[in-house]
Structure 1
Amino acid sequence: MPKPVFVLLHGAWHSPSCWNKLIAALSSAGYSAVAPALPSSGSATKDWSQDVEVIRNTVGDLVKEQDIVVVMHSFSGMTGGTALEGFDKASCAANGLKGGVIRLVYIVAFLVPEGFQHSAPGTRDNMIPEMRTNLEDGIITVRPEDAKDMFYQDMDDDAVAELAKDLRPQSFGAFWSTTTYAAWRYIPTTYILCTKDKPTTVAAAQYLIASAKASGPHKIDAVLEVEAGHSPFLSQVEWTAETLIKEAARESEA
C-alpha cells in the first residue's frame, strides 16, 4: 500500500518552518509531508476564510491520487476541522478520487463542534493576557519573553529565543470566525494531549475532548498523552514522527 502524505497545519503566530524538523524526521522514515502557509498568521486578514481556502486547495489536490493524514496544531484545529468537508475517504471515493483523508491528528488543538467561535466579534473575549491585542491594526501578537510560557515550556532558553524570532502577528478577525463543519465526526481522529503545556490549556483540551465525545456522532478513537509542552514536534521530534506514522496506520475503532 502507498504511504499516506502528511498535511501539517501550523498554529497561530507560527509559520510552516515550525514543522521543518518533523518533516525531516518523516522523510527519513520514507514519508512525505506538506506544510502550507496559512494567511491569518502574519497578516490582518478579516477572518479565517483564506486559511480554509488554502487547506482545501492543498488537500483537494493531494486526494486526487493519495491518502492523507491531516495534522493540526493548536489554533488550526478550528480551520482544519471546518475545511475538510467532503474529503473523508468515502466521499472522495464517491467522487471518483483515488485518495482521501484517512485520519486527523489534533496536537493540543481546538477540537470543536460546528458553530464554534473563539471570541465574539469586536472583542478579546476568552483571550489570555499574553495575547497582546491591537484592534486598530487587526492583529494579536505574542512578545518573545512570553513565548516559552505560551508555546515551548519544555525547551531551553536558547532554543526558545531562536524560535521566538519567527513568531508573527496573528489576525484578530480569525478569532472571530465561526466553524461550519466538524471533520472529526466523519474522519478517524487522534488527539495528542501534552501534559507539560500550560495547566489551563491542558484542562481546556480535556474539556474539549469530553465535550466532543458527548456531543453526538464522532470518530475520536485515540487520545494519547505525552510529557511535553505545547509543541512536541519541536521538543520531541522523533516521538512525534513515530506517533504520527503509527496513528496513520491505525484502523478506526469508532
Structure 2
Amino acid sequence: MSKPFFVFLHGAWHTPKCFMPLTSALQEAGFENRVVCPALPSSNATPLPTDWNADVETIRTTVSKLVEEHDVVVVMHSFSGFAGGVIRLVYIAAFLVPEGFQHSPAGTRGNMVPQMKTDMDAGSITILPEDAKNMFYQDVDDTTAAELSKDLRPQSLGAYWGKTTFAAWRYIPTTYIICKRDVPTTVAAIHWLIDTAKASGPHQIDSVIEVDAGHSPFVSKPQWVADTLIAEVNRTL
C-alpha cells in the first residue's frame, strides 16, 4: 500500500516554514515527497483577504488534487482547525468546532486575547515579537523563539469573523493532540472543545493524545510528532 500524503495547515500569523523541522523528520522516516504545506492567504497574501474564503479554497484545491490518486492526512494547527478533510484529521492545539461556530462577532475583537493587536482599518491582527514565545513557543529556547517570531505575519481580522459550515470530524477518523504546556487557558479550552464535540452528536474522534509540549510541538518535538503521525496513519490503514 502506498504511503499517504500529509497536508499541513499552519496557524494564524505563520507561514509553511514553521513545519520545516517536522517535515524533515517525516522525510527521514520514508515520506519523501509526501508532504505538502500550502501557504494560507489569511496570513500570506498582500493585501490580506477580508474573510477566510481564500484559505478554504486553497485547502480544497490542494486536497482535491491529491485525493484523485492518494490517501491524504490533513494535519491542522491552531487557527487552521476551522478547516478539514480525508482519511484522517489530526488537530494539534487547534480549533475543533461544530457547524455554525464563529470565533468573534463580525466587526468586533470579541474573544481575542490582549496579545492579539487588532487594526480595524487595516483589517489585520498582529502578534508582537515579545509576545510570541508565551503565545506559541513556550518550550522553545529564547534564541529559537526569537528567530521564529521574525517569520510571523499579520493575520486577516475578517477570517476570525467567519462561521463554520461543516464539521469534518463527524465523518472522518480524527486525532486530537493536546499540548499540556500550552497557555493554561488554551489547554482548558481544548478539553472543553473536545468534550463538547463528543457530546454534540455523531463524531469520529477516536484518538486523544497528550504531549508534554507547548503550542508548537512540531518545532520543539518534531521527531515525536512525526512518530505519532505515522502511528496514527498505520492504525487508520
TM-score with structure 2 setting the length: 0.97
What is the aligned residue count? 233
2:211 & 2:176 partners in 1: Cα distance? 11
Indicate yes or no: 2:161 matched with 1:176.
Answer: yes
1:224 partner amino acid: I
Answer yes or no: is the 8 Å Cα contact 2:88–2:236 preserved in 1.
no
Deviations 1:104-149 (A, max 9, x none): 0000100000100000000000000000000010000000000000
- 1:53 maps to which residue? 57
CA contact (8 A) 2:129 2:150 kept: yes
- Does 1:190 find its partner at 2:136? no
Partner SS state of residue 72, structure 2: strand
- Measured after TM superposition, the shift of residue 21 of structure 1 is 1.2
* Counterpart position of 2:134: 149
Partner of 1:164: 149
State the match for 1:41 in structure 2: 43
- Aligned-residue CA RMSD (Å): 0.9
Matched, 1:234 2:222: no
Secondary structure of the 2:153 match is coil
Shift of 1:207: 0.3
Give the Cα separation in 2 of the matches to 1:74 and 1:251.
23
Question: Deviations for 1:151-194, whole angstroms, at most 9, x for unmatched residues?
Answer: 00001100001000000000000000010000000100000000
2:114 aligned residue: 129
Matching of residues 238-253 of structure 1 within 5 Å: 238-251=223-236
After superposition, residues 68-217 of structure 1 pair within 5 angstroms as 68-78=72-82, 80-81=83-84, 84=85, 101-217=86-202
Q: How big is the shift at 1:247?
A: 0.7
> One-letter code of the match for 1:77?
G
Structure 1: which 5+ residue stretches go unaligned?
Answer: 85-100
Correspondence for 1:27? 27
Contact 1:42–1:171, Cα closer than 8 Å, also in 2: no
Q: Which runs of 4+ in 1 moved over 6 A?
A: none
Q: Does 2:64 match 1:64?
A: no
Partner AA of 1:49 in structure 2: N
Q: Give me the whole-angstrom Cα distance separating, in 2, the residues matched to 1:61 and 1:30.
A: 22
Aligned to 2:5: 5
Separation in structure 2 between the aligned mates of residue 23 and residue 229 of structure 1, nearest angstrom: 18
